[in-house]
Chain A
Amino acid sequence: MSTSDLIKRAGRGLKSAKLRTLLTALAISVGGFTLALTLAASNGVRNYTDELVENNFDPAELTAARDPEITSTGGGPSGAPQEYDPAIGDVQFGDGGSVQIKQVTQADIEILEQYEQIEQVRPFFTIPMQYVTREGQKEYTGSLQPYSPGQKPELVAGELPVDNDLEAGSIILPEAYLELLGFINADEAIGKEIDISISKEFSFDAIEDLLSGGIDSEDFTDLSVDTVAPQEKRFTFKVSGVSVRPATSFVFGVLPLEISSEDARELYVFANEGSSNFEKYIYATVKVENGEDDAVLQSVSEQLEADGFYVLTTDDIQETLNQFVDILTGMVFALGAVTLIASVFGIVNTQYISVLERTREIGLMKALGMSKKNISLLFIYEAAWIGFIGGLLGIIGAFIIGTILNPFINDALNIEDNLIVFDFLQLLGLLFALMLIGVLAGLLPARKAAKLDPVEALRTE
């Protein structure tokens, strides 16, 4: 019997027990559905993270740190205390906690700047901003950070600088502030001046300065009121752009105001000079010349490591993100696989019953000269058909559900690209795998059919 005849006959055999075939196929379709949707979601999330990394990081940039914790991806704190180093400083968390980190010092920055291949070094620092305001307007909270060419903001008005930095004195204002600061629209804000207030923490340096100048009792009263209280200073900037949150942004909450690194540095010095954390940075971002070339980036990163830096590349970040995606995908995939195992028993059971029911038919086929091999194949193809039908149902179901869900997900997450992305080849592979599972499940019953004694099967009495 030819293969195509066997496959057709197997299909017709199933047709004569439609309900049973459908129910058995439904069991496998649940697994197929889960796997198809998981694969599609994993595709979408991977696209999303790729875009996220692409939009938020410059592939030519490296993150250089002195503490391995900063650049370790997914490792978590090592737990072991390390030897004290003056470069170790407290890094405060928003929740009031802090952790000791070996920081990048000004000397380190100078080392980095001496590299020929390094175009720009931008230490990461925080500027304790108090509020932003405009003449005649109220004061509003916010955060301030130096402009980073790797994370170009999305502008609704104004223009991004052509080179790596903003012009000194200019600021990028998030859209959220427009109305608050009395602007009618984004275009109107361009070129207008706004004020940022920075506070300086109480520092002993200030007292020392005063003390060195000699004091009398009157000064002392001044000291207790003015010097010990935090100082405050307003800086004026000109709005050069209005930013909106891109679909793929790592920043949650209100977007930061962005200023040039030169200005950021000035503000940083004002706010932190004299404190124990002054000129200590958690990490520095390094822009490598021709760093888009992986080989160049790799060689610089190796040199930095030789100099005792811990280095994180965009690829590392992407890898970390993908690792999360992989773990999640793996977990859902495992669930789908478990349902498949359950459906395998369903197919085995159905096919066994089918063999028993069709004892006579099998006997007849043997009498008519059908070989054991072909009898076995007939039942294996039947099982493959069940796998195929179940797989197809599951995949079509997943496709429909995914297509329905996509707009809702996009709406909820405020993204443009679909998070459930079906790949035709992948689905074809899945379908094939499900058929293979059907075949595996059909092996035992098929063997039973092949071994059936025709004489016994054809006995009428």
Chain B
Amino acid sequence: MIEVKQLSKVYGKKDTAFTALQDVSFSVPDGSTVAIVGKSGSGKSTLMHVMSGLDHPTSGSVTFDGKVITDMKPKEADAFRASEMSFIFQAFFIEANRTCMDNVMLPMEIAKTTRSRRQQKAEKALEAVELLEKRDTKARNLSGGQKQRLAVARAIVNEPKLLFADEPTGNLDSVTGDRIVSMLFELNKKLSSTLIVVTHDEELAKKCDMRIHIKDGKIRSIEEPKSTKKGGKK
């Protein structure tokens, strides 16, 4: 369960102050898929950053499984992110000069996964995104779709409880994008993790259990389908 309570984020001071988030509150049941929908500049990325502890709110709190992320010290937040969360970005952010294997290894090195288990877990993750045969290929030689699949593999390798996807299909054509999305939803179900998709794409948002529409830093509406109140099932 993720609880966001009265979250506000103001950049700058006094005259130049810019309110990115204003009094945002909602809660997300475990295992559900959530879309944070809004246009660019609406504050949806800021919300993701604050929820993941990468950024600090001006006021309010984010609680994840009873732990208040917004109160954590940087070190704790780092360790928490390493073990519980993961990210997928629009621009992939994979390391182009490294092999696929090396890219997938990174989160496990950071999370200090025991060495003996790394290889097996990395192979499993690559297999899940159908990239196992590319394990020793340098990431720069992959196609756009393959790159994002690699990013997905990297995101799920540690089996995080919470997965953030920031415009995961933004840089992909619709066919490839659809494939990534279905893969993402499938894996999420398999891992029974919570998926938070940040997007301006209504089509993509419709696939999620829950939609939080955001505009100018404020929540405009929350759509919560009755059939998926808490179970996270479609």
- Taken together as a complex, chains A and B put the C-alpha atoms of A16 and B138 apart, in Å, by 10
The stretch from B59-67, B93-101, B204-212 touching chain A is B93-101
**B32 interface residue (CB < 8 Å to A):** no
A455 with B97: CB separation less than 8 A: no
A368 with B102: CB separation less than 8 A: no
B157 CB to closest chain A CB (Å) equals: 10
B102 with A370: CB separation less than 8 A: no
B149 CB to closest chain A CB (Å) equals: 17
The stretch from A169-177, A179-187, A358-366, A388-396 touching chain B is A358-366
A367 with B52: CB separation less than 8 A: yes
The stretch from A1-9, A81-89, A139-147, A213-221 touching chain B is A1-9
**B166 interface residue (CB < 8 Å to A):** yes
**B123 interface residue (CB < 8 Å to A):** no
Chain B residues, Cβ within 8 Å of A360: 91, 93
- Chain B interface, DSSP helix/strand/loop, else mixed: mixed
**B75 interface residue (CB < 8 Å to A):** yes
A455 with B55: CB separation less than 8 A: yes
- Chain A interface, DSSP helix/strand/loop, else mixed: helix
B138 CB to closest chain A CB (Å) equals: 9
B79 with A368: CB separation less than 8 A: no
Q: For chain B residues 153-167, which have a beta carbon within 8 Å of chain A?
A: 166-167
B110 with A369: CB separation less than 8 A: yes
- Taken together as a complex, chains A and B put the C-alpha atoms of A368 and B54 apart, in Å, by 10
Chain A residues, Cβ within 8 Å of B91: 360, 460
B110 with A458: CB separation less than 8 A: no
What is the number of residues of chain B that contact chain A, defined by CB distance less than 8 Å? 34
**B221 interface residue (CB < 8 Å to A):** no
Chain A residues, Cβ within 8 Å of B112: 1-2
B49 (CB) vs chain A CBs: closest residue: A455
Chain A residues, Cβ within 8 Å of B75: 371
- Taken together as a complex, chains A and B put the C-alpha atoms of A441 and B170 apart, in Å, by 40
B109 with A364: CB separation less than 8 A: no
B77 CB to closest chain A CB (Å) equals: 8
B52 (CB) vs chain A CBs: closest residue: A367
Chain A residues, Cβ within 8 Å of B52: 367
A461 with B40: CB separation less than 8 A: yes
A458 with B102: CB separation less than 8 A: no
Mark A14-41 against chain B: 1 for CB-CB distance below 8 A, else 0: 0111000000000000000000000000
Mark B77-107 against chain A: 1 for CB-CB distance below 8 A, else 0: 0111111011101110101011000100011
Given contacts A368-B82, A454-B54, contact A12 B93 (CB under 8 A): no
Q: For chain A residues 347-396, which have a beta carbon within 8 Å of chain B?
A: 360-361, 363-372, 374
B199 CB to closest chain A CB (Å) equals: 12
Given contacts A370-B78, A460-B167, contact A365 B110 (CB under 8 A): yes
Chain A residues, Cβ within 8 Å of B172: none
**B225 interface residue (CB < 8 Å to A):** no
Contacts across chains A and B counted by CB atoms under 8 Å: 74
Chain A residues, Cβ within 8 Å of B95: 16, 361
A2 with B97: CB separation less than 8 A: no
Chain A residues, Cβ within 8 Å of B54: 366-367, 454-455, 458
A368 with B90: CB separation less than 8 A: no
**B45 interface residue (CB < 8 Å to A):** yes
B166 with A368: CB separation less than 8 A: no
- Taken together as a complex, chains A and B put the C-alpha atoms of A11 and B160 apart, in Å, by 28
**B111 interface residue (CB < 8 Å to A):** yes
B193 CB to closest chain A CB (Å) equals: 15
Given contacts A360-B93, A367-B54, A370-B82, contact A459 B45 (CB under 8 A): yes
Chain A residues, Cβ within 8 Å of B109: 1-2, 5, 9
Chain A residues, Cβ within 8 Å of B86: 368
A365 with B98: CB separation less than 8 A: no
- Taken together as a complex, chains A and B put the C-alpha atoms of A46 and B93 apart, in Å, by 58
What 20 new A-B contacts, CB under 8 Å, besides A16-B97, A368-B107, A460-B170?
Answer: A1-B110, A1-B112, A9-B109, A360-B93, A363-B93, A364-B93, A369-B82, A369-B83, A369-B85, A369-B111, A371-B75, A371-B78, A372-B74, A455-B49, A455-B55, A458-B89, A458-B93, A460-B90, A460-B167, A461-B40
Task: Name the 3 nearest CB pairs between A and B, nearest first.
Answer: A369-B82, A16-B97, A369-B81
**Which residues of B are interface residues toward A (Cβ below 8 A)?**
40, 45, 49, 52, 54-55, 74-75, 78-83, 85-87, 89-91, 93, 95, 97-98, 102, 106-107, 109-112, 166-167, 170
> 17 A-B Cβ contacts within 8 A?
A5-B109, A9-B106, A9-B109, A361-B95, A363-B93, A365-B110, A367-B54, A368-B87, A368-B106, A368-B107, A369-B79, A369-B80, A369-B107, A371-B75, A371-B78, A460-B166, A460-B170
